[in-house]
Amino acid sequence: MNNLPLIKSKFGRAKFLFFLTFLTCALTIQVLAQGLNLDNSFNAGVSDAPPNVYISTTQPDGKILVGGNFHLANGSRKSFLVRLNSDGTLDTSFNAGGSGPNLSVYDIIVLADGKLLIGGSFTAYNGKAKNGLARLNSDGSLDLTFNTDGAGTTGTVQTVALQADGKILISGSLSAYNGTAKFSVIRVNSDGTLDITLPCVQLRNQLTVLTEVLCCRFAYSEILQLCGLISSERCGFDNATSL
């Protein structure tokens, strides 16, 4: 019984500390909210089930490119890729009259000349066969000079990166490009053809040219030949082994 006042005292301090913590959090949220007010003047929105946006990027003129898995943008029937004006309204001049990509867009690169590179799971753009990677003119129409006779990727392009020399790196769930077996990370020339000078790559934290030992463990003898360093006989096997 003698410990009862002590228990009450501790319980009272606990309630006071809880109240003080709650008050501090509430004040912090209020201060942050004042500095992060929603911009109601920006009229953007995509919808459908599910309305997934995977990439958005801004052009030098302030317009916004949005890619993902959606079928409506600001109430208009637009699927997978749209361009918005700087205020968030739909830019109806972008790919006007075109159907665009037939499946999801995961990455968008704005090129210096205003053209666009898009990567994704699509197999067509404006009704023309284009697998995984496409270049668009600045108005959103398909650039027919890019990879003119190639089949494109087998698999989904999830990231696109541009090198300083204009060559293009793509990565994703890939197993071929233009009919040639290539896996995960592929380099493409600026015209969309396959760059065969990147024979052995390994995706860790960065792109790395494989050593002779790793080349010997790579999955295809064609890659070994392109390495220019080793042969399947030197590696000691006839058929390919996986990494």
Residue 14 is predicted with a pLDDT of 59
Write down the H helix ranges in 154-237.
212-216, 221-227, 232-235
Tell me the CATH number of domain 46-197, given options 3.90.550.10, 2.120.10.30, 3.40.190.10, 3.40.50.2300. Answer: 2.120.10.30
Q: How many CB atoms lie within 10 A of CB 88?
A: 14
* Bridge partners for 88 per DSSP: none
Residue 3 is predicted with a pLDDT of 54
Q: Where are the domains of the chain?
A: 46-197, 199-243
Provide the mean pLDDT of the chain.
Answer: 76
Judged by DSSP in three states, 53 sits in strand
List, for residues 4-18, the tens digit of each pLDDT value: 454 445 556 656 555
126: left (phi over 0), alpha (psi -120 to 50) or beta: left
Residue 200 is predicted with a pLDDT of 45
Give pTM, 2 decimals. Answer: 0.68
- Proportion of the chain above pLDDT 70, given as a percent: 60
> What distance lies between CA 123 and its chain's CA centroid?
16
- Please give the average per-residue pLDDT across 212-220, as a whole number: 42
Measured distance CA(133)–CA(99) in Å, rounded? 16
* Bridge partners for 128 per DSSP: 125
- Please give the average per-residue pLDDT across 25-40, as a whole number: 58
95: pLDDT strictly greater than 80: yes
